[in-house]
Homo-oligomer: A and B are copies of this chain.
Amino acid sequence: MTAVTDTTRNGVDTGKMFATLDLIKEQPELAEFQFRATNRWIAGAHNRSTIQGFYAAGGEDTSRTGAFELDAGEPAILLGTDTGPNPAEYLLHALAACLTTSIVYVAAARKVKLTSVESTLTGDMDVRGALGVDEKPRNGFERIDASFRVTGNAPEEQLREVVERARKRSAVYDMVTNGVPVAMEVTTH
């Protein structure tokens, strides 16, 4: 017997979502993923990352038919020519995108239909740190403020619970707030 039901909510196939969760509970080794970016300097503040392959669920995932290309740059005041957002802005985007997707997925799992998710993130930086002018200010943002507006067919309290659960599960929120060990290897020929 096959039960045919429309399990898609917020654009997320919740049937497939719960099947994936069940599978990973049964076979935790399938949960090992590796994501990658390859970057190449072009000129000045202009460099480009290529993103395509990744490892997932026990093998190399080859489902992406093409590569994503991301151009980074700096505005004139930071000696660039605006060839793309700057790296710190990309970090804000990564955080906004991860929190948003987490909100959408958690809502889908909880049968909450969302009508909108909008956010503005700001990061305050004393650039004396990154420019090496003063040892006191840190290089990165001193703080990030994220302002979210989330609407949907649920009472305010439930919408807030969705956001809170999403925050607790977001991969990039975890990394940006808690940090990640980075190992760097360099060759010069």
Contact = CB atoms under 8 A, between A and B. Distances in A.
A75 B61 contact: yes
Contacts of A36: 89, 92, 120-123
Interface residues of A, number: 129
Contacts of A40: 116-119
A28 B136 CA distance: 12
A25 B137 CA distance: 13
B35 A172 contact: no
Contacts of A121: 36-39
Contacts of A56: 75, 77-78
Contacts of A130: 102, 169-171, 174
Interface in A100-116: 100-105, 114, 116
Nearest to A124: B34
B35 A118 contact: no
Given A36-B120, A128-B31, A139 B169 contact: yes
Contact of A74 (B101, B137, B141, B147): B101
Given A24-B133, A39-B97, A125-B35, A140 B172 contact: yes
A5 interface: no
A174 to B, nearest CB: 4
A31 to B, nearest CB: 4
Contacts of A33: 124-127
A186 B174 contact: no
A166 to B, nearest CB: 10
6 A-B pairs with the lowest CB-CB distances in the bound complex, closest first: A11-B44, A87-B98, A140-B175, A72-B97, A11-B43, A39-B96
6 contacts: A28-B128, A35-B123, A38-B120, A130-B169, A147-B185, A176-B179
